[in-house]
Amino acid sequence: MARELSMNGNTKLKTIKQEFNDRFPYIRLSIYAQTEREKDSKAPLNGDKTIAEVRTVKSSEPAIIRGGQKVRNLEKMIDEVFGLYCQVAYTDKDDKRSYTYGAHDEMSLRELNELGEQQGWKKGIWE
């Protein structure tokens, strides 16, 4: 990933999700309100909302996403900077949608995207 992706309060959720998927086409970013964290079935936030409209933590610092960043570190950063529940997810070749966990969370975004390409995960699914 040559460029980093920066998010701040003015960023629309659908914009960040699409830009994330443009850079990492085999994985996606799912962003939820903190209240969804423990639920089995999670309701996504409205993609037309900006981060400022849905966040629970106000920070003047942007969140920066880089290809070498570990999945777990990205999820933690979104939580700490914006107070939003974030999960990196993918859709496998059989159309099963899954969140990352375990070993996947220890991989960099670039490594996970490459694994997805090798394993035939669906490309370009960001919603």
Could you tell me the residue ranges of all domains in the chain? 5-119
pLDDT of residue 30: 94
* H or E segment to which residue 15 belongs: helix 13-23
What letter would DSSP give residue 34? G
What local confidence, expressed as pLDDT, does residue 1 receive? 40
Residue ranges of the chain with pLDDT lower than 50? 1-2
Phi, psi at 53, each rounded to 5° = -75, -20
The DSSP code for 70 is: B
pTM of the model: 0.91
With tokens 């960001």, the residue in question is: 126
Position 7 scores a pLDDT of 92
Distance in angstroms (rounded) separating the CA atoms of residues 4 and 68: 10
By the 8 A CB rule, do 93 and 121 touch? yes
pLDDT value, residue 60: 82
Tell me the DSSP string of 102-123.
GGGGGSBHHHHHHHHHHHTPPS
